[in-house]
Amino acid sequence: MITFPKPDIEQFLRTFSIGDFIVRPDEKQLVLSTNLSGKYNLWGMDLPNAFPYPLTSIDQSCQELLFDKQGRFIIAGFDHDGDENTQFYGIPLRGGAMKEIVHHENTRNFMPILSNDSQRLYYTSSRGNPSFLNSYCLDMESGQETKILEGVDAATYVIGFSPDEKTYLYHKHYANTYSLLYAKNGSKDILLTPPSEKQHTVTHGVFVSNSLVYLLTDYDSDFTYLASFNLETKQFTKIKELEGESFTVLKYNEELQLLFVASEKGVVDHLYEHDLQNGNWRNIPTPCSVIKKLEVTNSGALYLSGMSATKPHNIYRKSGNEWEPLTTYTVPGVEATDMVEPDIITYPSYDGLEIESLFFRANKENDNGEVIFWPHGGPQAAERKFFRASFQFFLNNGYSIFAPNFRGSTGYGLEFMKMVEGDWGHGPRLDNVAGLDWLIDQGYAQKGNIFLMGGSFGGYMALLLHGRHAEYFKAVVDIFGPSNLFSFIDSVPEDWKPVMDQWVGNPEKDREKLIEYSPSTYLDSMNKPMLVIQGANDPRVVKAESDQIVQALKEKGRAVEYMLLEDEGHGFSKKENEMAVYRKILAFLKEFTGVTENV
């Protein structure tokens, strides 16, 4: 009998991911953006077969993806090495030479939508209006382009149009917790939620006829619900609300007159079907904890991409009652029993606010007694029961991971989400400190012996916690986190800048607060070993944010290592880079593993 060694721990990092997918209208082909070759490209699968074949070889991640309505070609959006300057290309069904459709250097292009006859492409762009954006209609045959909407006081996006294409929906984004939906017909602009002095959001809208729109909103509510708006009668109607759940995805099947709605409730998602003919509402069980994308076909089949804490990103098809996996990405050579499901725990913060958290505990046979404290990115996002190969990698190396959903996180209502706005460095910081104290009080960690690691806002929070509460930690990892809120506000993409006053603060009016909340204010207190990781092309948290903190700490003689990725942006689009980063982090952590800090 042959015996095999235990799987190499690096196999966790060799897990592939799916960025996006689409299904051809006749359901004979599925196209997905995946890093199957180690770098992201488009791959096709001829259904019902599920063997993939390459469509592109440009080694870039895909930001936008759609079939033309007749299923004759593909429209895809690609940036370059993470710079987020997405351009649109036409691609043949079998791949090959790509044709530039929308290509303007150093512009950001969003949300391509094809007309019903696929003769016109609608899209939103930073071209000519980088702060508030413009929307265009491109004639695909003549190449003539018409500006159909100009953003004025907020980033403005066209998101859909009526069946007769005479009315279109546009979305105005004032903040992550304040966005409005309008319908435009000629010179008429109609707000689709009742006027209100209280900020609210509208996240999705679909036409079910030329005059009736269904939308997701939290108008006059803490959680997002399903509503409708009649453009003829101007009647707004609340359709369905579920306690403690925020609806996040809305899809319409015209043939069957069915709406499909996904919801977020804390760390997990749910899926529902609403029959417009009889008003019935039913839950649809799904094969995953978190839904990343939902596609609905004319036949009534559902295609879903999603993941769970111990199940990587995959695509599933449902026709009838069963979900059929179309991809079978796993952790190579690793059984599900060798991975860790998180415990869902809650603890009270400094002011009594309940904070929900995921606590991944290393298996007893691997447990080295060390804990990684992970504040998530966003900050208006959440740590959820989705698959992180890096988490399972660290867990298999013996490190437990504690990930709190501090105030500002999504999934807990609008008011909870708003708590971080203008308060990056106080309430959320103290929520994290309360989480650290919970770990210590429960006997899972000792003060001074906790590893701290985070990315994006989580990197910012790691820097801030290091500067203000260094006594809790023995080493810190910052992955592309802002270090100075003044320079961060000044360097974000232009279409982000109008929201920064509400989101982070105003550099003049809130000067003292921004000084207090900036990690760079506390350089003298940052006395633990640090590893800083940065993508050179990051447009969200630019390279200078990491450069300045590394330089300042080195000038003070602090132990800090710096890993710069020349061909990455705000994340990891190339598998070799991702693996190199987490190898580096593991080696860094191992230097201090088992070392007890005297406090």
Residue-wise pLDDT for 382-424, tens only, equals 999 999 999 999 999 999 999 999 999 999 999 999 999 999 9
Task: Evaluate if residue 431 carries a pLDDT over 50.
Answer: yes
Q: Mean per-residue pLDDT for 170-184?
A: 97
560 pLDDT tier (thresholds 50, 70, 90): very high
What CA–CA distance (Å, rounded) separates 555 from 558? 8
Give me the residue label for tokens 């319908």.
183
Q: Torsion-angle region of residue 128: left (phi > 0), alpha (psi -120 to 50) or beta?
A: left
What CA–CA distance (Å, rounded) separates 506 from 524? 26
CA distances from 21 to 64, 65, 351, 445, 590 (A): 9, 7, 43, 42, 38
Task: Evaluate if residue 348 carries a pLDDT over 80.
Answer: yes
Task: Evaluate if residue 10 carries a pLDDT over 80.
Answer: no
* CA atoms in the 13 A half-sphere facing the CB of 189: 10
Task: Evaluate if residue 364 carries a pLDDT over 80.
Answer: yes
Return the exposure string of 431-458: e unless at least 16 CB atoms fall within 10 Å of the residue's CB, then b. bbbbbbbbbbeeeebbebbbbbbbbbbb
What is 215-268 written as a DSSP string? EEE-TTSSS-EEEEEETTTTEEEEEE--TT-EEEEEEEETTTTEEEEEEEETTE
pLDDT, greater one: 7 or 487: 487
What CA–CA distance (Å, rounded) separates 95 from 57? 9
Tell me, rounded to whole angstroms, the distance of Cα 165 from its chain centroid: 31
What CA–CA distance (Å, rounded) separates 579 from 568? 13
Q: What percent of the chain has pLDDT over 90?
A: 91
Read off the tokens for 124. Answer: 């939103």
Read off the tokens for 313. Answer: 């990103």
CA distances from 494 to 151, 245, 378, 499, 551 (A): 13, 33, 18, 10, 27
Tens-digit pLDDT profile for residues 472-529: 999 999 999 999 999 999 999 999 999 999 999 999 999 999 999 999 999 999 999 9
If you average pLDDT over every residue of the chain, what do you get?
A: 95
What CA–CA distance (Å, rounded) separates 433 from 406? 10
Task: Evaluate if residue 262 carries a pLDDT over 90.
Answer: yes
CA distances from 140 to 100, 118, 164, 285 (A): 11, 8, 19, 41
Task: Evaluate if residue 334 carries a pLDDT over 90.
Answer: no
Q: Sign of the C-alpha dihedral, residues 180, 410, 291, 13?
A: positive
Domains annotated on the chain, with CATH: 336-590 (3.40.50.1820)
Q: Mean per-residue pLDDT for 297-323?
A: 94
Say which DSSP state 420 is in: T
Nearest to 86 by CA among 65, 70, 67: 65
Q: Mean per-residue pLDDT for 1-9?
A: 72
pLDDT (0 to 100) of residue 338: 85
Q: Sign of the C-alpha dihedral, residues 394, 398, 404, 410?
A: positive
What CA–CA distance (Å, rounded) separates 430 from 355? 11
Task: Evaluate if residue 231 carries a pLDDT over 50.
Answer: yes
pLDDT (0 to 100) of residue 9: 67
CA distances from 310 to 15, 95, 173, 340 (A): 12, 33, 35, 7
pLDDT (0 to 100) of residue 366: 87
What CA–CA distance (Å, rounded) separates 534 from 269? 31
Tens-digit pLDDT profile for residues 40-63: 999 999 999 888 999 999 999 999
Say which DSSP state 319 is in: S
Q: Mean per-residue pLDDT for 133-161?
A: 96
Q: Give the three-class secondary structure for 118.
A: coil
What CA–CA distance (Å, rounded) separates 169 from 160? 5
CA distances from 233 to 6, 65, 277 (A): 67, 35, 20
pLDDT (0 to 100) of residue 599: 44
Give me the residue label for tokens 């649109």.
88
What CA–CA distance (Å, rounded) separates 94 from 53? 9
225 pLDDT tier (thresholds 50, 70, 90): very high
Task: Evaluate if residue 425 carries a pLDDT over 90.
Answer: yes
Q: Mean per-residue pLDDT for 553-563?
A: 97
Give me the residue label for tokens 């094809």.
114
Q: What percent of the chain has pLDDT over 70?
A: 99
What CA–CA distance (Å, rounded) separates 122 from 137? 5
pLDDT (0 to 100) of residue 6: 67
Task: Evaluate if residue 347 carries a pLDDT over 90.
Answer: yes
